[in-house]
Amino acid sequence: MSDTLFPTLFSPLQVGDITLKNRIFSSGHDTVMVHDGAVTDQLVEYHRARAAGGAGLIIMQVAGIHETARYTYHVLMATDDSCIEGYRRVADAVHEHGCALFGQVFHPGREIMESQDGALPVAYAPSAVPNERFRVMPRPMSQAMIAEVVAGYAAGARRLQQAGLDGVEIVASHGYLPAQFLNPELNLRTDQYGGNLDNRMRFLREIISAVREAVGPGFAVGVRVSGIEHSSPEEEQEPTDIVEVCRRLDAVGSLDFLNITEGTSASRSGSLHIVPPMSEEAAYTAPAAA
């Protein structure tokens, strides 16, 4: 690989207190290699191979942090201590090759794909606004449930830390629960979690604060957001001012990184950008992070 094309690819990168050996990065993505919410041998070997191939950082797929976060039958769960051993196996396999490992803490909100028994899924969101793609009508979250879910993010992050991972990424991208709170078209609340941008960011700020308090210093904490959701082909302006959101998140001072992506699970047009087709040019999402 030419150093002139990628002059910094093999140089170290500092993320908080974690030094990555290079900038080769495997981002969080579903693998369908999970059974009963737990890590499998197949998942361990999947990540071991990427670490052996030279990756500097692997971010694992999402881990649900609340029982209502089961958006599909093959989602990892971090809702109790039984998850720790499986995550530790992945961490040990990856660390053998000098690769860092982060996990993702996650709640889909209204973005429920399916239920275990095929019944109509029960979903929760800031407000009762259905999505286009799955036709799910969510129930508005009470303030008590909001507090419970925030605590779930913190507890999940702490379990990943106990398993030996190096960091955690809070998934606020792709139209999932934190993104739903940020979006004024989906968040119609009239309490302190809705209305102006500061109020709509409150849920995400509370998650960040709770996670950082749970893991302490030295453990990398970041947030993944969609710079552009592509909610519909006709929409010329994004409903959420993500640039301003990122400025305010950076000002909080508790984060070590921001991961900027594109797309949303909520619409057909947006979901194409979660796993882009091969026809898209390499690095086409880079301008969203510029």
- The domain locations on the chain are 21-289
Annotated catalytic residue 87? no
Pairing of strands 38-39, 34-35: antiparallel
Residue 178 pLDDT level (bands cut at 50, 70, 90): very high
Higher pLDDT: 287 or 138? It is: 138
Mean pLDDT of 187-215: 99
Give the 3-state secondary structure of residue 13: strand
Phi, psi of 152 (to 5 degrees): -65, -40
Q: Under a CB-based contact definition with an 8 Å cutoff, are residues 22 and 56 in contact?
A: yes
Residue 4 pLDDT level (bands cut at 50, 70, 90): confident
Closest CA to 84 of 185, 165, 183: 165
Structure-block tokens of residue 280: 């898209």
Catalytic residue among 71, 153, 176, 193: 176
User: What pLDDT is recorded for position 3?
Assistant: 64
pLDDT in tens, 115-166: 777 777 899 999 999 988 888 999 999 999 999 999 999 999 999 999 999 9
Residues forming beta bridges with residue 187, ordered by sequence position: none
User: What pLDDT is recorded for position 28?
Assistant: 97
Give the fold, CATH level 3, of 21-289.
Answer: TIM Barrel (3.20.20)
Residue 58 pLDDT level (bands cut at 50, 70, 90): very high
pTM here? 0.95
Pick from 26-40, 44-58, 173-187, 234-248: least confident = 234-248
Q: In sequence order, which residues have a C-beta less than 8 Å from that of residue 278 and are 6 or more positions away? A: none
- Stated as kind and residue range, the H or E segment containing 52 is helix 41-52
